[in-house]
Amino acid sequence: MIIDCHGHYTTAPKVLEAWRNQQIAGIKDPAAAPKVADLKISDDELRESIESNQLRLMRERGCDLTIFSPRASFMAHHIGDLAISSTWASICNELCFRVSKLFPDNFIGAAMLPQSPGVDPKTCIPELEKCVRDYGFVAINLNPDPSGGFWKSPPLTDRHWHPIYEKMVELDIPAMIHVSTSCNACFHTTGAHYINADTTAVMQLIEGDLFKDFPTLRIIIPHGGGAAPYHWGRYRGLAQALKKPLLREHLLKNVFFDTCVYHQPGIDLLTKVIPVDNILFASEMVGAVRGIDPESGHHYDDTKRYIEGTLNLSAEDRHKIYEGNARRVYPRLDAALKARGR
């Protein structure tokens, strides 16, 4: 089977965005703030939003299961305070849960956390636990920059983040390191901020010793690992200068990269530089990069084509990228699939 580890609910019914706009307006004018009960989305509306978009494309492209989380740019942790973020995260996670219940063979959840700038990450634990224990989610998305492009949080290796890591280890779930909208005009959200964050996360993990404290922790760096695979020699050299172990020992026991690169030479490079055991199939379908590539005539986010087109991959390697690695990195997903006889 083919498991896509990077899917977002980018096609949620428009009433969700309208409710969010009201919530934001209510920050300045509490009288304008909506109630959670004001948001009404039927199962039929959810089905339509999925069947005509993600599910249709999954079937056309031969993808079986998507690990599905709230829309990344909608997380917007920089907006409001902890109460605002908590309400918004709860709503978005519940919608992903409902999608997973409507389409249990095709979607399984990953949680958005109710992060807020300057707030202790341990405040995220109740939502995290609810999503894993009650909703059956198999992972979380962790935003290393809740300030929205100004990087006011400590590095990912700082003890600031330990409450999240401790709970991840307890529940045996991985985290995808994924920022949200940039409110810094210097950084385009998907073209700069996302890729900068991926690259920054890799360098922070190289500089620190996080995996000495959490040897079983598993981290996914999306968008092909940002610039890291392209500059792998630089990072190997920096690790050496910092007197760290070789990256295969220091980083690649715990860190994984997805395939959201969107062109054949990029996937070719990724699979040559990064060990196949550290690559997870992903598309971020109907996400940041849409449309037809005029050079290939195919959708940019049809990433299965790139895996099939990579000449240095054996059938065994493709199986690892498509399915085997995901089952290993997401143990709760593997358990859920085995329970269903898959």
Would you please indicate which residues are annotated as catalytic (active-site) residues? Answer: 284
Alpha carbon of residue 45 to chain centroid: 24
**If you search the block for the tokens 């089952």, which residue do you land on?**
327
Burial label, 292 (beta-carbon count in 10 A; 0-12, 13-18, 19+): exposed
CB contact at 8 A, 310 and 267: yes
Residue 39: Cβ within 10 Å count: 18
Alpha carbon of residue 232 to chain centroid: 22
CB contact at 8 A, 113 and 60: no
Tell me, what amino acid is at 116? S
Rounded to 10 degrees, the C-alpha dihedral 206/156/287/227 comes to -20
